[in-house]
Structures are given as structure tokens and as C-alpha cells.
Amino acid sequence: MFLITLFFIVAFFAFIGALFLIFHPKTLPSAIGMAVAMVSIGFLYLLLHFPFLTFVQIILYAGAVMVMVGYLIMSQGFEEYGKEVSLSQTISSYIIAILFLFLCSKAVSKSFLSRFEKTYDDFGSIREIGISLIKNWGVPFEILSVILVVAMVSSVILAKRSLK
């Protein structure tokens, strides 16, 4: 009972943040709503017994991505962003989203769904995640580091002033 109350509080905050992201007319409050939603999703990970991923999520989104995006918004002056999308496009996008939601909830209601069992003691700790990462997922881990280096170099090259 306590857990489900906590879940609804956290989900409410994430919902408010997502509402700001998709409806607020200005850019900076939308990005701040996005940060609120990301931190709330991180606490949702905590409710699922993954505290390490909570810290990673908060550091990554509220720390890295939001600082970068906020700096970009404030330095480039994003406040004017042109006219809104047309009414037909808005209505069709809502219809697509509602159809998707309806389809997925239908699939969930038809499928077999289990409940959360009590976990063992060490579940979701840094130790267990690290052991599984090194033992079973070593090659994808190294490929990810290569991808990060490529992303770093390419973002520096893309954002340089002249491409000549």
C-alpha cells in the first residue's frame, strides 16, 4: 500500500513535467519540465530496487544533458520559434498517440501479468550490475566506449565555426 502511494506521487510529478514539456509555449520552462520528469523517472527506478541507476539518471540528465540544453537555449535566444503547427497536424498526432496507447493497453490487459515478488538481498546493487556487465556484456561495453569517443569528436567537429 505504501509503495503504490509512493508510485503515484512520483508518477504525478513525472506527468506534470511531461505536460510542461509538450504544452508550454516557451522553450526554457519546457526544458525545466523535462528535467523534473527525468528526476521523477529516476525515483521510479529507486522504487524498482535499482538505486545505482537512479544516481546515474540524476547525474546524467539533471547534471549533464540539462546543463548543456539550458546553456544552448540561453545562449542562442530560443524564445521565438515560429508559428505553431497546423490544426490538422495536431489532431492527427493526438489520434496517433491515443491509438498507440489504446493498442498497448489492450495488449497488456490480454497478456499474462505477474506481480512483484520479494527480491533477494543483493538485487540491483552496484556489485551485481558490475559483475554481470563485465562477465556477460564485455564486448558491448567496449563498443559503447568507442561510440562515446566518436560522439565526442563528431560533436566538436560539427559545432566548429567554419567547416571549410
Which residues from 57-86 bind other proteins, rule CB under 8 A? 57, 60-61, 64-65, 68-69, 72-73, 76, 78, 80-85
Q: Quote the least distance from Cβ 10 to other proteins, whole Å.
A: 9
Q: Write down the least CB distance from residue 164 to other proteins, Å.
A: 13
The one among 9, 19, 74, 138 contacting other proteins by CB under 8 A: 19
Q: Read off the C-alpha cell for 151.
A: 560522439
By CB under 8 A, residue 39 contacts other proteins: no
Examine residue 105 and tell whether it contacts other proteins (CB under 8 A): yes
Q: Tally Cβ neighbours within 10 Å of residue 31.
A: 20
Q: Comparing C-alpha atoms, which of 13, 7, 9, 31 is closest to residue 21?
A: 31
What contacts 18, CB < 8 A, 6 or more positions away? 33, 34, 37
Cα separation of 159 and 140, whole Å?
Answer: 28
Q: Counting contacts by CB under 8 A, is residue 156 touching other proteins?
A: yes
